Structure 1
């Protein structure tokens, strides 16, 4: 087109070339193509092609987690696309904006991505429908909203299967493997990740994320092949230079090193892109990489916007951190918080690790438990409850209902329900009978439960 003197088509094709390079992990080439497209098209009158070029630049800035720049370019794209009623560029621009916003403002970013999805569906733009599902799922996963990611990815994969959109499907399946990992569905991780890795012609980014999933699974299970997967993942991520790829890889490698008892390597991995994560204002990468500094006994000052579960745990509030991880549906991370707790927390962590098949972490907890003396075990288990919680446990052991306990303690029934829930969580129990038995063993209550009448 340049030879023919058609600058409009030249600029359009340069913009489209950006996506090809980006999908192959050729970020420098993608940057050059995008900038060249803008240079060519800005020399011409405003056009839908220029809107496309702005949208591709928004996508690149989003990939690099330059959120403010991504939003600015996306807004320019929207203004021009609306002028020319270009639904395709509108869908793409809202996608880029939403994916950039979701890192720091989940609700706002998700709303923009859902708008992208709606525009694409209404216009019959199948590829953009797939792209919207892709970023809803992957971006949700990146900020540990795995329960939402699970739904988005399932819907998106089904759409791609129906319409033969393999490239988007494979990337979503790679993220689905990671989602299964964090939601505790470990038996499904390897099958999903292997299906991506064995697919001929799979894109670089899809392969990379599948390698992170399989490498992290192997590390957590204590299986062989951890270095094989995560070394290749690092090689692929390094080609991009993007935090979006480097963050997950170095976090996985830091965890693998820590589980292997290599604190020096843990610190190397945690430091690798920690400053980059802070410079991009990424709460979750900053939090996880800071957490691995902390696990390797290296203090870091976390920014105030760091993801809450990591802040809580590093501040010593393991119980609140465990509650946050439970709310997010992440059992392994919950157990990792519990290992910083008391004897009862250790027992619950061990139960979770054993259920998952997390052998290295389970062995760490067993070692801790073996090192605790009977007197220390008694004290830490007993002191895991507050005085009021111990009082509730004693009254349960005496056969009282929540209503009777509320009357005895001069509080509302809802308050007692909250106490009971906390006791069950802290002691790792599933029923009031277990609470009653425990309270009797600890001599909090001296009379056995009364018979129901």
Structure 2
């Protein structure tokens, strides 16, 4: 090479050609920092930013490049979206760098020669459609030691030395725990939506009125930036709630129809979400396209075994499906979610799933849709039936988590079964999954599915129908609909007797006994539970024996025979511990707490209820949690801990309201009436008691006998603080309130700021004619602080550490725990380290097992089934 040419090469200067950004990039601070650090590492020379279409890879690469201009001689942006021939890659790079061809060299050779001495960063944008040109990048890197490449695309290049950084959608709000509006607006997905909405409509603002709808739109669109921008542009015409209604299918729309109309200066593929997804879909081979379409039947994700079962053709090896699934993950059309100590879950973003579903529907002519949905329904029916016995075993906590993960799939399977007259599958599935609904508090939804199945397929009888009747009755009983529950249990008893199924007959008798307790027919309840116990002992059904013993103990307490109740309850607890039935252990502890309250042993009762609550929290048993919280509130009041009673009662009421538990709401109103009485707010207390009495009368929910004396004393105390006329007016006003108004009334009860030392003993009625003052102290020692006692009982773990242990037991990663608790992932890591150290464990699996054992994973509970 001549000296002149060498000098020309060395002196050659390239100009940065980074396009100016018209809008800001939001919520990517951590990504920018992470990639910036990667690119400054000497060994990182090829970095691929991979992710689904519309996630913002191009904008992220440009933002990162803008922060690196001082670290490279030149940064050059090379757009490849318009290139489909891999052989044109050298030409495109040369054009971006303004390098001309030479007659005595290939363009690739000339690029190597000219770029070799330069500290250059090339950004190759949208590489996926020329993936076959990846080997050329290896040649360039080998020839140019100072060159670094950033590649954006749907998938990694799979080259030696490549570093992949997966770009995720923007962080989302937790719909179950929305923060204040100002904080909500700082969450990246919400922040982007609001900014782009304001670009479309200058007066748009995030407010208390539209905050929930905006948050749900962001979640519905999975935090995908392009989808958020396209949706935000619609607020010019549609307010957030109207937009949300259409995104979820209202008014004949679907989300893909709405997510159109992007800016004209965007590439055509980014002007509609459908165009963008077409771009990705057309890069798949036919086998991958088929699997992509089939995976649309999975709602909320699924496990790999589910994909292998549902999407595998007859005679095809499972490994073939696995390889296609890997390819879809690699191309960022399917997202893989890692769960510790469990099968990973595969997930289509919701907008992507809707797109795939439209293609599956188009495949109707070849029968692919029907066959895939049928296999999906069969798979999840069999999964529910496998889980059914485990929900009363030592593995119930683990199975509850697994069923929760696939709850959307159960819903989708039942919907398809109903729409396609699949009577057997619908009855089998709903009849197997109802205990999950019961334990997790899905009362209303579960009842709707079960009642629909019973009415739609009324021609089907026998055990199949009877099992669904049991579930419908249990959930109806949980919502105080005793009329429907009793009818369901009586019909199931007839069907079981006709089939001579002794075990099932025992279940129906047990459940009718639970109804009798609720309706105040305690002698009848005792007789029904005795019949059930006799059958269960004959069959050697330990789970059933424990249930009947617990219910006999409850019935004995209702008959004021507390000493007789204790042996039943203690035997029940012993059997349940032997079986590892943590749900049952919690219920037996609850009933032992009720018995000890009746015996006035309040410290011991509080401990029983505290242990029961811990287990129920671990299982996610909302009804059980509400019961235990209410019981603890009442005992805390008797112990003089008024502030604690208020907090426990409030948490219980929130759960009762969520479950629409009429009896539980009545009990909560009575708790707040007691607190109001203690605060000398007699009129407020009378209104609350009147509202509770109205609920009890309307739904035939009489007081338990052991509650009657205490209730009468409370009523007498309230009456001494009011004239007869004032009491009657307040009482009737309370009776006239709606349920929502009555719950709102509890807000008028002030929260005590400190523990008051002189709570009245519940068994001592006021005798003065004046408005009573609380001057009669409880003559028993108060227990140690529940918070300290809990810390000692749980290996020295703090409240936050116990919360983290519970979430670990639910299979959540540190990232998901951090999101749920609104803390950093590093903070969660520190909590996990502390838990392992304090408990002397070495794995998260040990934490999970310990949480279930300790129980982290209605005054008297008469349990169905």
Bin for the TM-score computed over the shorter chain: 0.5 to 0.7
2-structure distance, mates of 1:76, 1:136 = 23
2-structure distance, mates of 1:212, 1:186 = 14
Aligned counterpart, 1:291: 670
Deviation at 1:335, TM superposition (A): 0.6
Deviation at 1:298, TM superposition (A): 8.2
Distance 1:272 1:99, change over 3 A: same
1-structure distance, mates of 2:387, 2:686 = 38
Deviation at 1:266, TM superposition (A): 1.1
Q: Helix, strand or coil for the counterpart of 2:660?
A: coil
Alignment of 1:108-123 (within 5 A): 108-123=484-499
2-structure distance, mates of 1:338, 1:95 = 36
> Deviation per CA, 1:13-36, whole angstroms, max 9, x where unpaired?
312133234324433323346654
Matched, 1:239 2:601: no
CA contact 1:226–1:256 (8 Å) conserved in 2: yes
Matched, 1:101 2:476: yes
Matched, 1:172 2:548: yes
Alignment of 1:5-404 (within 5 A): 7=375, 10-24=379-393, 25-26=396-397, 27-32=400-405, 36=409, 42=416, 46=422, 48-78=424-454, 85=460, 87-102=462-477, 103-141=479-517, 146=522, 148-199=524-575, 200-201=578-579, 203-223=581-601, 225-297=604-676, 314-315=689-690, 328=702, 330-340=704-714, 364-366=762-764, 368-369=766-767, 372=768
2-structure distance, mates of 1:73, 1:57 = 10
Aligned counterpart, 2:178: none
Distance 1:230 1:342, change over 3 A: closer
Alignment root-mean-square deviation, CA: 4.2
Unaligned runs of 5+ in 2: 1-304, 315-374, 679-684, 721-757, 772-865
CA contact 1:263–1:296 (8 Å) conserved in 2: yes
Unaligned runs of 5+ in 1: 300-309, 347-359, 377-453
Q: Helix, strand or coil for the counterpart of 1:297?
A: helix
CA contact 1:55–1:77 (8 Å) conserved in 2: no
> Deviation per CA, 1:353-381, whole angstroms, max 9, x where unpaired?
xxxxxxx9995544745xx49x99xxxxx
Distance 1:329 1:180, change over 3 A: farther
Q: Helix, strand or coil for the counterpart of 1:198?
A: helix
CA contact 2:596–2:604 (8 Å) conserved in 1: yes
> Deviation per CA, 1:315-359, whole angstroms, max 9, x where unpaired?
3999x99999xx95733211112213559x99xxxxxxxxxxxxx
**Structure having the higher Rg:** 2
| TM-score when normalising by structure 1 | 0.64
CA contact 1:34–1:53 (8 Å) conserved in 2: no
Distance 1:246 1:174, change over 3 A: same
CA contact 1:180–1:188 (8 Å) conserved in 2: yes
2-structure distance, mates of 1:250, 1:72 = 27
CA contact 1:197–1:207 (8 Å) conserved in 2: yes
Deviation at 1:250, TM superposition (A): 1.4
Deviation at 1:11, TM superposition (A): 3.8
1-structure distance, mates of 2:528, 2:490 = 11
Number of residue pairs matched by the alignment: 346
1-structure distance, mates of 2:424, 2:470 = 17
CA contact 2:529–2:552 (8 Å) conserved in 1: yes
2-structure distance, mates of 1:249, 1:88 = 34
| TM-score when normalising by structure 2 | 0.35
Deviation at 1:78, TM superposition (A): 3.0
